[in-house]
Structure 1
Amino acid sequence: MVTTRELDISRAVLDLVGRPPDLDVLELLHDLTAYAAAFLPARAGITVLDDSGEVAYLTASDELCRRFQQDQLDLDEGPCLDSARSHDPLPVMLLDSEQAAARWPRFTPRALAASLTAVAAVPLHTPDLMLGALNLLSTSPPLPDHRDLELAQILTDAAALALTHRRDVAEREEVIRQLQTALDSRIVIEQAKGVLAARRRVTIDEAFRLLRGHARSTQQPLTALAARVAAGDLPDTLLGRAH
């Protein structure tokens, strides 16, 4: 018997891999983290290598995950940095283990104090280019198992296939350019989340949900809507007011 969850996963893979050639990379990777968080027992975030070769976080399934990724960048230490720099997956690692304490001596105690219990990652790559990683961060049981990591890799590979949908997009320079554009767009989206959260008096996570929902219902790019909101131009419907 095919379960509803199996159907939902199949639809997610088709959605990720079936993006048009002029896809919005940031929107694609936002959807990847959303699907990962929906189907796996973990929060999800993406770290990438920017055009200078430095690790940067690109997106996260929620604000807590985003902060965990930013902490690692500030400390220059942690699983998200390691996974973005590596070509290999990071198996599930408990943060209260001696291995984690020895590997990330500054990040580990900070993460444990914030209730992060385990980490894992799978690589995000095209056939000839390592782009970064999908990071899985757990704050409560159950923890991801090997089947969860296989599913995480399938979802990540589907997104990577969308990046190489056209021959010219598969070129290294073009893929890196797209990622850099997505990194720049991320900053605008974070500004828009803050503006909307303040105006609607909601959490950052709820503000992002409202932004994405409005962008989809009005069929406009998320980055374009975010630029308007960050500049103070908030549509009445986004503010909860009828036309």
Structure 2
Amino acid sequence: MSTEEQQHLADTFVSLADTLVDDFDLLDFLGLLAEKASQHLNVAAAGVILSDQRGGWHPTATSHETPELVALFTAQTYAGPCQECVRTGSTVAIPNLADHGQRWPAFAEHATQAGYQAAAAVPMRSHRKIIGSLTLLNTTPDGVDEASLQLGQSLADMATIGLLQQPALHRGDLLAEQLQAVLHHRVVLEQAKGTLAEHGQLPPHTAYVLLRDYARGQGQHLSALARHIATTTNMDALEAILAQPHTPHTSPDA
């Protein structure tokens, strides 16, 4: 790893650590985790899946909010490297997804359609309890390298610390509440993203980036802004977000 790459990685940990304050937005934090993993590890895309504490798993954040990538992570909640990762509590690395088409047909199909050929998942662990996983994707069938897996695990561990920023007393109940809140906010974010995309005739990823950047620029929680946009009839709020400069999204394999 070059000195510049080391500095970028250090900056990633600093930016994540800076988010771990008393009043931080978990949804934005997990989005930042996925973005930074995609940017600074040797992978094309990344995403976070969390437990609903009722036996189900849900996509919570992706590095690129394209329909294809969101569909891929949705498929992975039923079968894929994430499911094996959370079941075993260990890293799962698949160098070539074509070799696992029969094992995980839906996941392999969505991955191929989205342009990804390799995948790996690292657990998000709280002691012996698995609360989710960070999945790393590549567009070439040569896997995710060991250095990226190790650093990805470190990022996942930091994210878990962020999720568990609560007093130790009754931690199990608090954790369940935290995760339920994040999953609810994700549903609202999808609604807000759709509203903004339709109003501005934008692709979903661009709508997400505008929402995220506006929230950060205004010092707002992403979840609170999403709730406002999903429920408002005030076009001024939509126009203010759309007025931000932005560049068209290109796919990760472009």
Q: Which residue of 1 aligns with 2:24?
A: 23
Does the 8 A contact of 2:123 with 2:132 survive in 1?
A: yes
Matched residues in 2 for 1:72 and 1:66: separation? 10
Does the 8 A contact of 1:48 with 1:131 survive in 2?
A: yes
Amino acid at match of 2:104: W
TM-score by length of 1: 0.87
**Percent of pairs with identical residues:** 31
Matched residues in 2 for 1:124 and 1:143: separation? 20
Amino acid at match of 1:61: S
Q: Which residue of 1 aligns with 2:75?
A: 71
> Taking structure 1 as reference, are residues 216 and 121 closer, same or farther at Cα in structure 2, changes over 3 Å only?
same
Deviations along 1:29-68, whole A, 9 cap, x unmatched?
A: 1111011111122211111211212121111112232110
> Taking structure 1 as reference, are residues 167 and 128 closer, same or farther at Cα in structure 2, changes over 3 Å only?
farther
Give the drift of 1:144: 2.2
> Taking structure 1 as reference, are residues 85 and 169 closer, same or farther at Cα in structure 2, changes over 3 Å only?
farther
Deviations along 1:126-175, whole A, 9 cap, x unmatched?
A: 23421110011222477420001111111111112223344338812212
Q: Structure 1 segments of 4 or more deviating over 4 A?
A: none
TM-score by length of 2: 0.84
Q: Unmatched 5+ residue regions in structure 2?
A: 245-254
Amino acid at match of 1:67: A
Matched residues in 2 for 1:176 and 1:88: separation? 22
Matched residues in 2 for 1:144 and 1:114: separation? 17
> Taking structure 1 as reference, are residues 15 and 165 closer, same or farther at Cα in structure 2, changes over 3 Å only?
farther
Does the 8 A contact of 2:81 with 2:93 survive in 1?
A: no
Question: Which deviates the most, 205-214 or 168-177?
Answer: 168-177
Query: 2:85 pairs with 62, 83, 86, which one?
Result: 83
Is structure 2 residue 186 aligned with structure 1 residue 183?
no
Amino acid at match of 1:24: D
> Taking structure 1 as reference, are residues 70 and 82 closer, same or farther at Cα in structure 2, changes over 3 Å only?
same
Q: Which residue of 2 aligns with 1:112?
A: 112
Deviations along 1:71-98, whole A, 9 cap, x unmatched?
A: 334xx3222333233311112331122x
Query: 2:241 pairs with 231, 238, 242, which one?
Result: 238
Deviations along 1:6-36, whole A, 9 cap, x unmatched?
A: 2221122123234113432222111110111
Matched residues in 2 for 1:151 and 1:177: separation? 28
Matched residues in 2 for 1:222 and 1:170: separation? 27
